[in-house]
Structure 1
């Protein structure tokens, strides 16, 4: 049950990044407006789109979960700044949601993705390193 929960949890976290990929690819102007409003170059929407897609795929497949988990947590924390608008309750709920997702990504990075993961050929599994299951 623990391994299945880890898989479902990874897929649910990945859903956020899938949605981010689709939103930025279909309507980049919305994200570009947020970037411009923070004084950042609007072309950053494209690396963000690629990060969203890559993170989603890695989370679903269970590849490179430690570095992806840490990177996704950092991404969620940084992007939460765009939603820190205390006068707008909707934006504040997105701000808090980003921090909660960052927490889930940190737990994933620390604990691993369970048995249902694809391992990169250069990675040793936790079992191979310590004899304990990931």
Structure 2
């Protein structure tokens, strides 16, 4: 009779690590984009009645959260914060007349979903232990 006892997936921790890094790269790119051309994000903020200067805390948050995900530290809390950030910032892309912006809105929701999975399951085994 075959043994159907569940066994841990030997690649699960590696896949979680790769997933963490891929999600983090989106936020690295967001930080770099804000650093290179802060007006693009600033205009989205101003268009929704918010101060342009919020670009800078968003840049810092994007960069710090990305580094935490890459390192695998504080993943549950950081991932939850990133999920909320993605859901909140999706409002800026709600422009039904612009299909490109609407696709970004849905991508933000998908990224939030990935972050919620990280928040639920944690960083996996591959983390930078010396940072903990």
> TM-score normalized by structure 2?
0.89
Asked whether 1:25 is paired with 2:50, we answer no
Query: In the aligned structure 2, how far is the partner of 1:118 from the partner of 1:70?
Result: 20
Asked whether 1:14 is paired with 2:3, we answer no
Which segments of 5 or more consecutive residues in structure 1 lack a partner in the other structure?
A: 122-134
**C-alpha distance after superposition, 1:90-134 (max 9, x if no partner):** 00000000000000001001001110013554xxxxxxxxxxxxx
Q: Determine which of 94, 117, 122 is the counterpart of 1:84.
A: 94
2:5 is matched with none
> TM-score normalized by structure 1?
0.88
Q: Determine which of 105, 111, 115 is the counterpart of 1:101.
A: 111
Query: In the aligned structure 1, how far is the partner of 2:70 from the partner of 2:100?
Result: 28
1:57 CA displacement: 0.1
Which segments of 5 or more consecutive residues in structure 2 lack a partner in the other structure?
A: 1-10
Query: In the aligned structure 1, how far is the partner of 2:25 from the partner of 2:104?
Result: 15
Query: In the aligned structure 2, how far is the partner of 1:7 from the partner of 1:109?
Result: 13
Query: In the aligned structure 1, how far is the partner of 2:23 from the partner of 2:64?
Result: 13
Q: Deviating runs (4+, > 4 A) in structure 1?
A: none
Q: Determine which of 58, 72, 83 is the counterpart of 1:73.
A: 83
CA RMSD for the aligned pairs? Answer: 0.9
